[in-house]
Structure 1
Amino acid sequence: MEKKEIRIGMIGYQFMGKAHSHAYRDVPFFFDTKAKPVLKAIAGRNEEALKEAAEKMGWESYETDWKKLIERDDIDVIDIVTPNDSHAEIAIAAAEAGKHIIIEKPLALNVEEAKRMYDAVKRNNVIHMVCYTYRFVPAVQYVKQLIDGGRLGRIYHFRANYLQDFIMDPNFPLIWRLKKEIAGSGSLGDIGAHSIDLARYLLGELEEVSAMTETFIKERPVGEMTGGLRARTSSNEMGKVTVDDAVAFLARFKSGAIGTFEATRFAGGNRNKNKFEINGEKGSVRWDMENMNNLDVYFADDEEGMQGFRTINCTEELHPYAGAYWSAGHIIGYEHTFIHLIYEFINGVVENRNPVPNFEDGLKNQAVLAAIEKSAEDKSWEHIPSYLPESLMN
């Protein structure tokens, strides 16, 4: 029996566009999805680059106007991988057109936009998902199982660092990620948002935060992205950096646990050091994205003389998602987190249910980001307000 097709339209085509395209193409190879994703069309502004990207990544066609893509009858899903300032306009238009939506993080520039996006998908009854991909690392999923199964007992601490160094050179160009009107925030929304989402996923909602931020390089030469995290200077003109280079904050969870968080793009030698440690009454775990298949685990009831962290390689068949790939010890990589996310999204569309993380999670994360910014500005503890019905805030 031939599988149902889900026809994808993607807006944007660079760093995340490449990762998403790869996932759509590979997910049916590794997983028994309930429908087959079909790469119908991508949209962008540069026709020459767009045509090249479509051919290279396997898309059937392209549009130079994203609004035309949304209007097409042969598109079921709109995948949004554009800079943050366009998320709200595109997502709301897609929802009003009855298209299902998958979108890169953070959800929006601010809470007001995120709330309008959430209202739009709920009003139009479309499936929605936000690409917080680190949830889908098998080791992270296994941590969730350990916590939910009580293996770590009561949780006391969540400790997260997300460290990068790609903008340390003062001559690195003023790209869109360094402009508040386009990005919303700097290291906070770009990488710190991932740590916030992992914390919420594993431990539950945050209650209050106390933060500080810093911008180390105040001005940079005007420039543009050239792919990945690379950029080039496009002018002799200097421009003002209007986002944070680094953020550090304390947090209290509703569960009673406490958290410490740091996100920076000025940690020399750290290309993508996304890591966390969780300490509980019965044990601890620690994980690092740069060694994503491994999980360090400690259990307090180990016999004396044998206590301490052990390292397990989360590639056994019993580890979440791992059984779809290779024999144990044959590691997987960054790109597979997108495959897992797309697998959940495709099945959610077929089953008419919202997978997680979705726009509800995106809005909750946006509320935390806003509270952190306000705390840093006011030098105060800030409560995380609710922007959702109470039934959805658990």
Structure 2
Amino acid sequence: MTKIGVGVIGTGFMGKTHALAWRNVKAVMGCAAAPELAVLCDTPLDRAEAFAGQLGFARATDDWRTLVADPAVQVVSITTPNRLHHEMALAALAAGKHVWCEKPMALTLAQAEEMEAAARKAGVVTLVGYNYLRNPAYAHAQRLLAEGAIGRVAQFRGWVDEDYQADPELPWTWRATLAEAGLGALGDLGCHLVSLATGLMGPVESLIADTQVIHQTRPLPEGGRAAVENEDAASALLRFAGGAQGSMVISRSAWGRKSRLGFEVHGTEGMIVYDQERMNELQLYQNRGPLAEQGFKTILTGPAHPPYGAFCPAPGHQLGFNDLKVIECAALVEALSGGAKAHPDFTDALVFERAIHAMAESARTGQRVTL
């Protein structure tokens, strides 16, 4: 595939991120195939048309089904609210289109399983939007573990905190409902943490979890208040299939935290520490040398941590969120061109979905859940 016809559904935060990634991927990463921005969809139509002009799309529409059916579109980016992922993905797969879908895959585990089965049947390329997995610092952490830099891995501690729902007087939105958003903090944030943990530790074998609705109601624009139906916070104790233990804490109501996605991996000979708010750094402790000289080492990412060098030749000058999306897009373009399988595809991402829904189930039942 030398040219890739792209259709993007949605022009919000993630829609613009996808569009920018499609625009920049060949220039930055030197991909063999060239994305062509064919159709942009949003409502109302004048919004779609305005963004199509701004972002360089050939056409705009307010009907996502028109985008999916368009013969100029070979791959569909789905960046809409969660409740629409399932229907749109199934329609795109049925039309033989490749799909790049934002996380979480769907509202329910059953819907995600249906999407995964449909993707396998269609035999097309799929990718789910876990761009934090593309961070060169994270990739280096994976290499360190594979090389035994901290000995036998024994424990994972992870956290993901943001404060976009910390204010109790923040107006009620679709994010507060099971019918529109599905899971709350678990679906919006927790799945990212699960993806990072799985890439470092392997699959989760079992877990026990608890959840909390911190703000039971939120104000409506027309007056009164409406109930919050999904969790603001969650915590879990995990056992990984490889035998290591783990813990996770997740909150969308943690004042002062903007993107505090991080982890510690404890080994028998050291530790690795990462924090997304300092996403170009990795902390490494190794139990080596004189005791008086031991301490954490800060590793700043640079060209020695691919593909950082595709963006900037100078170490320590830093990549950003949108750069990670370009790296993610490059993996999709490679898969579309017959190269390595895109990761995480619908099958890979279903593993993450099962973990977060297992946490929700454990919180409901008070029982440990085996995956």
Q: TM-score range by the shorter chain?
A: over 0.9
Partner of 2:100: 102
Q: Is the 8 A contact 2:234 2:250 kept in 1?
A: yes
Number of the residue aligned with 2:349: 362
C-alpha contact 1:127 1:352 (8 A) present in aligned 2: no
Query: CA 1:73 to 1:157, structure 2 compared with 1: closer, same or farther past 3 Å?
Result: same
Residue 244 of structure 2, aligned match among 250, 254, 257: 257
Name the counterpart of 1:67. 65
d(CA) in 2 for partners of 1:165, 1:31: 34
Contact 2:97/2:124 (CA < 8 Å) preserved in 1?
yes
Given residue 175 of structure 1, which amino acid in structure 2 is its aligned partner?
T
Deviations 1:236-285 (A, max 9, x none): 24221100010011100001111110110121111111111111112211
Contact 1:157 1:257 in 2 (8 A): yes
Instruction: Give me the TM-score of the superposition, normalised by structure 1.
Output: 0.91
Letter of the 2:158 counterpart: A
How do 1:297-336 residues align onto structure 2 when only pairs under 5 Å count? Answer: 297-315=284-302, 317-326=303-312, 327-336=314-323
Check the 8 A contact 2:26/2:32 in 1, yes or no: no
Give the total of aligned pairs. Answer: 370
Distance 1:188 1:249, change over 3 A: same
Q: CA deviation at 1:22?
A: 1.2
Note the C-alpha offset of 1:81: 0.4
Match of 2:119 in 1: 121
SS at match of 2:249: strand
Q: Deviations over 1:62-110 (max 9, x none)?
A: 1111111111100000100011111111111101101000000011111
Look up the SS of the partner of 1:247 in the other structure: strand
Q: Is the 8 A contact 1:127 1:353 kept in 2?
A: no
Report what 1:291 is aligned to: 278
Is the 8 Å Cα contact of residues 100 and 127 (structure 1) preserved in structure 2? yes
Aligned to 2:34: 36
Q: Secondary structure at the match of 1:351?
A: coil
> What is the match of residue 12 of structure 1?
10
In the TM superposition, residue 352 of structure 1 has moved relative to its aligned partner by 6.0
Larger mean Cα displacement after TM superposition, 247-256 or 54-63: 54-63
Task: Go from structure 1 to structure 2 and tell me whether the alpha carbon gap of 1:353 and 1:113 turns closer, same or farther (over 3 Å shift).
Answer: farther
Q: Are the equivalent residues in 1 in contact too, given 2:167–2:253 (CA < 8 A)?
A: no
SS state at 1:220 partner: strand
Matches within 5 A, 1:176-255: 176-222=174-220, 234-255=221-242
Question: Which amino acid letter does the alignment assign opposite residue 322 of structure 1?
Answer: Y
Is the partner of 1:267 in helix, strand or coil? coil
Amino acid at match of 2:241: K
3-state DSSP class of the match of 1:182?
Answer: coil
For 1:352 and 1:341, locate their aligned partners in 2 and report how far apart those are by CA, in whole Å: 14
For 1:325 and 1:168, the matched residues in 2 are separated by 35
Provide the C-alpha distance between the structure 2 equivalents of 1:50 and 1:205, rounded to a whole number of angstroms. Answer: 40
**Separation in structure 1 between the aligned mates of residue 287 and residue 105 of structure 2, nearest angstrom:** 39
Cα distance between partner residues in 1 of 2:176 and 2:57: 31
Residue 111 of structure 1 corresponds to which residue in structure 2? 109
Task: Show structure 1 runs of 5+ residues with no match.
Answer: 223-233, 385-394
Q: What is the rounded CA distance, in whole Å, between the counterparts of 2:9 and 2:295 in structure 1?
A: 48
- Whole-angstrom CA distance in 1 between matches of 2:54 and 2:330: 22
Contact kept in structure 2, 1:129 and 1:354, CA below 8 Å: no
Instruction: Provide Cα deviations, 1:163-195, integer angstroms capped at 9, x if missing partner.
Output: 111212222111121111111111111001100
Amino acid at match of 2:73: I
CA shift at 1:353, angstroms? 5.0
Paired AA for residue 374 in structure 1: E
| SS at 2:39 equivalent | strand
Q: CA deviation at 1:57?
A: 2.0
Alignment check: 8 A CA contact 2:233 2:250 kept: yes
State whether residues 5 and 38 of structure 2, in contact with CA within 8 Å, keep that contact through their aligned partners in structure 1: yes
Alignment of 1:160-175 (within 5 A): 160-175=158-173
Q: Secondary structure at the match of 2:151?
A: coil
Contact 1:153 1:282 (C-alpha < 8 Å) held by counterparts: yes
Per the normalisation by structure 2, the TM-score is: 0.97
Contact kept in structure 1, 2:274 and 2:283, CA below 8 Å = yes
Aligned-partner residue type, residue 116 of structure 2: Y
Amino acid at match of 1:318: A
CA RMSD in angstroms comes to: 1.3
